Structures are given as C-alpha cells and as structure tokens.
C-alpha cells in the first residue's frame, strides 16, 4: 500500500482553493477497505483524546467512517441503524451505565 492516508472527498478541492496542488489517487476496493479500517482507528484515537466540543466533532468523524464502512459492506446507513435498533431492543443500549463484573 502506498504512503498517504484516506481523506474526505472534498479535501483535494479545499487544498486547491488554498493555492496548492494535491497529489492524490483513488484506492482500489481492497485498499479502500483497509484504509477505512485505519481511518476508524485514527478517528477513535482522536475522539478519545478530545474534550468538550472537540469530542463531538471527533465523534461525528467516527460516525462518518462507520457509515463508509457500512456502505463498503453493502449496508446503507439506514440498514445499519435498523441493526443497531434491533440489538438495542433485544439486549438494551448503554444509557443505563451498567458495568458487569462477573457472575456470583
């Protein structure tokens, strides 16, 4: 895999508008899938390191990568949300802040 990192689609245009010429290429499906996984790790790390409003921005980035991963798997974000809702219905969510420490 070549150097570089996966960036949002409009980043090359934004770079051009700033007066520079970006060097980019379009990844093949296998490389794209791998780079999305790397991007998820990167965005989660940035979220974990962020505070306040920056954390919200980073969480939005995580969600964008999750949506891209879902689409790469053939799951529209709507279907991914349906799967999430089904799991929440069957097993609950995390709003209750329940921590399991084992069985008695």
65 within a domain of the structure (yes/no): yes
86 within a domain of the structure (yes/no): yes
pLDDT of residue 29: 96
* CA distance to 15, 21, 27, 89, per residue, from 24 (Å): 11, 9, 9, 43
45 within a domain of the structure (yes/no): yes
Torsion sign over Cα 31, 9, 6, 75: negative
Mean predicted confidence (pLDDT) in 32-48 = 97
99 within a domain of the structure (yes/no): no
51 within a domain of the structure (yes/no): yes
Mean predicted confidence (pLDDT) in 28-45 = 97
pLDDT one-digit tens code per residue, 55-83: 999 999 999 999 999 999 999 989 999 99
Rounded Cα–Cα distance for residues 78 and 75 (Å):
8
Total number of domains constituting the chain? 1
61 within a domain of the structure (yes/no): yes
pLDDT of residue 1: 78
pLDDT one-digit tens code per residue, 3-22: 999 999 999 999 999 999 99
Of all helices (H) and strands (E), which one includes residue 81? helix 77-91
Q: Which residues constitute the domain of residue 44?
A: 28-91
22 within a domain of the structure (yes/no): no
């Amino acid at each position: 895999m070549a150097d570089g990192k996966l960036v949002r689609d409009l980043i090359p245009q934004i770079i051009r508008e700033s007066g520079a010429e970006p060097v980019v290429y379009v990844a093949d499906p296998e490389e794209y899938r791998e780079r999305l996984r790397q991007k998820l790790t990167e965005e989660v790390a940035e979220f974990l390191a962020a505070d306040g409003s920056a954390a919200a921005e980073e969480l939005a980035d995580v969600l964008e990568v999750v949506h891209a991963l879902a689409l790469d798997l053939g799951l529209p974000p709507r279907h991914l949300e349906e799967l999430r809702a089904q799991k929440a219905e069957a097993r609950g969510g995390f709003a209750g802040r329940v921590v399991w420490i084992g069985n008695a």
